[in-house]
Structure 1
Amino acid sequence: MLRLSVILMFIIYTFTSLKAQQNPVKYGIVGLTHSHVHWILGNLKTEAYEVVGIVEPNKALAERFAKQYKFPMELVYSSMDELFVQNQPQAVLAFGTVYEHLEVVEKCAPKGIHVMVEKPLAVSLAHAKKMEQWAKKHNIHLLTNYETTWYPTMQKTYDLLQSNAIGEIRKVIIRDGHKGPARINLDPEFFDWLTDPVQNGGGAITDFGCYGANLMTWFMQGKKPISVTAVTQQLQKENNPKVDDDATIVLSYNNCNAVLQPSWNWTIGRKDVEVYGYDGVIYADNGHHLRIRMSKGYDGFKEEKMELKTFEKPYHNPFYYFAAIIKNEVKLQPYYLSSLENNMVVMEILDAAIRSARSGKTVKLE
């Protein structure tokens, strides 16, 4: 009888565990002022996740999006506390200002609610350290979402580097940005805080500098640069009077360097990477097109072009991926693009870059 009871308990446990994995993860959305929220508003319920509540105190904004995406206003709450009382989300997606990321983690972590924020992780290194402490203390996942994480070309670049396809890294150039917030017709609620030095922590240096820092930390497997040197400019004073809109950041490592070029002054929007190795170069021109040039002689080369397919689920989309992490279907690797370890290094790099630009001096990292 005892053996039968044990077998029955095992069957019940296995069934319950499988059912829990099959159930969609319950998400709460906190904030609607970040335009990246449009990505999920068009897909509030899937087999992997379900949005059970949206926190947005700006009723007019909530009503505008409710009409656009045809979700009921009953889904909208005025505060995180109200959401937590009425529903019990397993995780929260933060789509407010970068400054508000800390408050989201402070509210969610003690309740065991996982958090994913839009890049960058925090408005400052001081905020990031507090967020890290809350996440570790309460054992929650704290992820940072970047658009480039879901680019097949970035994963292919990483794989090629790991296989030593172009030899040891010597130089990396990473360009990110667009024409500027005032010139690309952003939602007004997003524009208002994106160009505010308190709510965003800076201008282009933070908005797009984080992309390059994130990718380099991954490519270098978590290794920090020895030093950071940065120069910022304000090329559209009439549009961005409070913040920088163009930056150049140089990261120096033992055997290579990286030049990050975050800007709100690119003629066309871009997120591209060039990685120069001892024997060849990788050009990740966008999300799907990649070229490899192997050196021949002084200026000759042999080129291979690739057109890469979108990732399979759950690696194609931050919301599917986050759900898979929560359900233990996927293990988050150390220093991977979304990881807390990677993004703490990103915040150190951004902090050093801002200090370097202000002082006109190179900043060394400990």
Structure 2
Amino acid sequence: MVRCTFIFLFFCCAFTQLTNAQSSQKPLRVGIVGLVHDHVNGILNKAFKQGNQTDIEIVGIVESNRDVVERLSKRFGFPTSLVYPTLAEMLDKAKPEAVTDFGPIADHRKTVEGCAPRNIHVMVEKPLATTFADAKQMEMLAKKHKIQLLTNYETTWYGSNHKAYALANTEKSIGDLRKIVVHDGHEGPKEINVSSQFLSWLTDPATNGAGALFDFGCYGANLSTWLMHNQRPTSVFAVTQQIKPDIYPKVDDEATIILTYPKTQTIIQGSWNWPFGRKDMEVYGQTGYVKTIDGSQMRVRLKGEKTERTDQAVPTDAPATDPFAYYAKLLRGETKPDELTSLENNVIVVEILDAARQSAKTGKAVLLK
């Protein structure tokens, strides 16, 4: 009798563990808010083209532009029955656990206002908001309702950035930081043939916040804030230009931001005028430097070395290669939060961008309290 009871309990325990394991592997129920940001192609390709997804399941999409819905439905193969005209209807009927926002930056606040009270997590495309006031309101809602509010940057998933951070901060191989220089951008959104609906709001200061200043200045602000351990700069100074006013009459297409810290300076160069796309960074310390070339290649020179040497990062140096797989693992408690996507970092990023916009308008540095 004792033996039978033991066997019964053993199998009950084994069954429970198996059930729990299967439950933890259930795809995260995700809703997509907006289809007018071309970065949405990544999640649509993952969810509907690649097939056999175990980390996310798209359960609903919010988009009122039927032309966009029809075009992307044909391209990626998702059923139009997944599409709802409003956020509230999608949340009520599809019941996602989390959403990803691919609408204009100015609409991010509305998404958080709709999701946070329902305890639905939110990931937005960079930057977090168009104004510091919106960012603070979103932060308040996220904390009040205890949701994750993340900001997705392509450069978060670059192994080279994480290896550079390790050299600078974890290993302290280059000494105290003195200067950070970040270059981001491309030839221009129209020049690289982004979709018409993306171009429309990306080049409108009301919906995007600014032009290249926000579109690519946010990368440098995000990386600098990370390297500086979420320390806010003491001042922000920015210069913007309209080199191509015939193409971009409403917004800047060239931007330089200078951030000062007590013992460090950051120069952010965001541009729609580079001869080719680039996302690279230089980090200089008292005794050495590290330069990232792309997502994996680097150049390093440390104290005692006569010349710089090449180095290579691997995908595992980054928290994940896929932001949506990371999202699922984070919400399932299978990975730790990454500082680059964190709310704390990205509220500071918007404070920097808001100050940079003011500085470019007035021609004066903005001192942060």
**TM-score of the superposition, structure 1-length normalised?**
0.93
Query: Counterpart of 1:37?
Result: 40
1:132 equivalenced with 2:139 (yes/no): yes
Show CA shifts across 1:319-352 (max 9, x none).
001111110111215xx00000000110111111
- Is contact 1:122–1:347 with CA below 8 Å preserved after alignment? yes
Counterpart of 1:323, as a letter, is A
How far, CA to CA, are the matches of 1:356 and 1:281 in structure 2?
30
- Is contact 1:175–1:212 with CA below 8 Å preserved after alignment? yes
Q: Measured at CA, do residues 20 and 232 of structure 1 come closer, stay the same or move farther in structure 2, by a change above 3 Å?
A: same
- Is contact 1:229–1:357 with CA below 8 Å preserved after alignment? yes
Q: What displacement does 1:303 show?
A: 2.1
How far, CA to CA, are the matches of 1:195 and 1:325 in structure 2?
33
Query: Counterpart of 1:331?
Result: 336
Query: Counterpart of 2:345?
Result: 342
How far, CA to CA, are the matches of 1:10 and 1:260 in structure 2?
56
Counterpart of 2:340, as a letter, is L
- Is contact 2:33–2:103 with CA below 8 Å preserved after alignment? yes
Q: What displacement does 1:289 show?
A: 0.7
1:322 equivalenced with 2:330 (yes/no): no
How far, CA to CA, are the matches of 2:110 and 2:178 in structure 1?
40
1:302 equivalenced with 2:307 (yes/no): yes
Of 316, 340, 348, the match for 1:311: 316
- In structure 2, the gaps of 5 or more residues are 1-5
Over the aligned positions, Cα root-mean-square deviation in angstroms equals 2.2
Q: Measured at CA, do residues 125 and 11 of structure 1 come closer, stay the same or move farther in structure 2, by a change above 3 Å?
A: farther
Of 154, 163, 174, the match for 1:156: 163
For 1:1-366, list aligned pairs within 5 A.
Answer: 17-44=20-47, 46-162=53-169, 163-294=171-302, 301-311=306-316, 315-333=320-338, 336-366=339-369
- Is contact 1:248–1:262 with CA below 8 Å preserved after alignment? yes
Query: Partner of 2:307: helix, strand, or coil?
Result: strand
Q: What displacement does 1:170 show?
A: 1.1
Show CA shifts across 1:2-58 (max 9, x none).
xx9x99998887666434311110000010000000111111161111111111111
How far, CA to CA, are the matches of 1:320 and 1:116 in structure 2?
12
How far, CA to CA, are the matches of 1:85 and 1:295 in structure 2?
59
- In structure 1, the gaps of 5 or more residues are none
Counterpart of 1:264, as a letter, is W
Q: What displacement does 1:267 show?
A: 1.1
How far, CA to CA, are the matches of 1:125 and 1:8 in structure 2?
56
- Is contact 1:203–1:243 with CA below 8 Å preserved after alignment? yes
How far, CA to CA, are the matches of 2:175 and 2:292 in structure 1?
17
**TM-score of the superposition, structure 2-length normalised?**
0.92
Query: Partner of 2:336: helix, strand, or coil?
Result: coil
Matched pairs, number: 360
How far, CA to CA, are the matches of 1:210 and 1:13 in structure 2?
46
How far, CA to CA, are the matches of 1:285 and 1:53 in structure 2?
38
Q: What displacement does 1:192 show?
A: 0.2
Counterpart of 1:198, as a letter, is A
How far, CA to CA, are the matches of 2:243 and 2:346 in structure 1?
28
How far, CA to CA, are the matches of 2:232 and 2:91 in structure 1?
38
How far, CA to CA, are the matches of 2:106 and 2:11 in structure 1?
51
Q: What displacement does 1:309 show?
A: 2.5
Q: What displacement does 1:167 show?
A: 1.5
